[in-house]
Amino acid sequence: MPTLDALLSEDQIQAKIDELAARLRADYSGESILLVAILKGSFVFVADLCRRLGEDIEVDFVQVSSYGDEHRSSGVVKFKKDADTSFEGRNVLLVEDIVDTGRTLAHLRELFGTRRPKSLRVVALLSKPEARAVPVEVEYVGFDIPNEYVVGYGLDSAERYRNLRYVAVLRESPTP
Ligand code: IMP
Ligand code: MG
């Protein structure tokens, strides 16, 4: 049986989202924002974040698949679902659950930059700086965390644990 070691509590996460939302409101100073959440992991984060932002907010979703093993992305990114909304002239804010190697985001930043947004920034709840394989800019980061596999608050292991209110390190116990 895998074990869960709590890393970030529900209160810590909610307080951090208050902080991120305050920074975003100040930085965008009332301009409209198109939140583009990267499914599936970001669905919980974007739900909490969007309700703390101003009035002029739209939410859209993209889903990409990367071919790698279960816990690592390969960097080959393919759309399962693209955005429904045009990015042209919009303040596009990509919403990511966690930045690991950075490959997914680097790819999306490059591609979405060609769609002529007014601005393009990224907010990620979690980042593992030690795991970065490609450099990628992330304007807003909630927490830098150690290079371990985490679940909860939208993040899964084989589709489980997304519904946890907190974030935990998942440890596979050694087979006897
Ligand atoms: P990257 O392209 O390596 O940065 O991978 C980013 C994606 O891999 C994230 O959006 C997650 O879906 C997934 N991922 C990376 N690390 C973790 C983790 O610790 N737990 C759950 N999913 C993760
Ligand atoms: Mg993800």
* pLDDT, tens digit, 9 for 90 and up, residues 100-124: 999 999 999 999 999 999 999 999 9
**Residue 99: CA count within 13 A, CB half-sphere:** 30
Local structure of residue 87 (DSSP, 8 states): -
Q: What is the pLDDT of residue 17?
A: 98
Q: What is the pLDDT of residue 175?
A: 63
In short, whether 154's Cβ falls inside 6 Å of ligand 1 is no
Residue to mutate, 77, 97, 123, 166, ligand 1, most ligand atoms under 8 Å from C-beta:
97
CB atoms within 10 A of CB 70: 7
Does the pLDDT of residue 45 top 60, yes or no?
yes
- In whole angstroms, what is the distance from residue 104 CA to residue 106 CA? 6
**Percentage, residues of the chain above pLDDT 90:** 86
Q: Which protein residue has the closest C-alpha to ligand 1 atom 12?
A: 41
- CATH number of this structure's domain 10-148: 3.40.50.2020
Distance 145 CA to ligand 2 centre (A): 16
- In whole angstroms, what is the distance from residue 174 CA to residue 176 CA? 6
Q: What would the DSSP string read from start to end of 17-77?
A: HHHHHHHHHHHHTT--EEEEEEETTTHHHHHHHHTTS-SSEEEEEEEEEE-S-TTS--S-E
Contacts of 98 (CB under 8 A, 6+ apart): 41, 124, 125, 126, 127, 128, 150, 155
In short, whether 94's Cβ falls inside 6 Å of ligand 1 is no
Distance 149 CA to ligand 1 centre (A): 9
Q: What would the DSSP string read from start to end of 134-176?
A: S----SEEEEE--SS-EEBTTB-BTTBSTT-SSEEEEEPPPP-
Q: Which protein residue has the closest C-alpha to ligand 1 atom 22?
A: 155
Quote the mean pLDDT of the chain: 94
Residue ranges covered by each domain of the chain: 10-148
**46-90, pLDDT tens digit by residue?**
999 999 998 899 999 999 986 655 566 666 678 999 999 999 999
Query: How much is the average pLDDT of 19-40?
Result: 97
Q: Which protein residue has the closest C-alpha to ligand 1 atom 11?
A: 98
Residue 144 annotated as catalytic: no
Q: What is the pLDDT of residue 173?
A: 77
In short, whether 41's Cβ falls inside 6 Å of ligand 1 is yes
**Given 5, 60, 82, 100, the catalytic residue:** 100
- In whole angstroms, what is the distance from residue 130 CA to residue 132 CA? 6
Q: Which protein residue has the closest C-alpha to ligand 1 atom 20?
A: 150
Q: What are the structure tokens assigned to 141, written together?
A: 């980061």
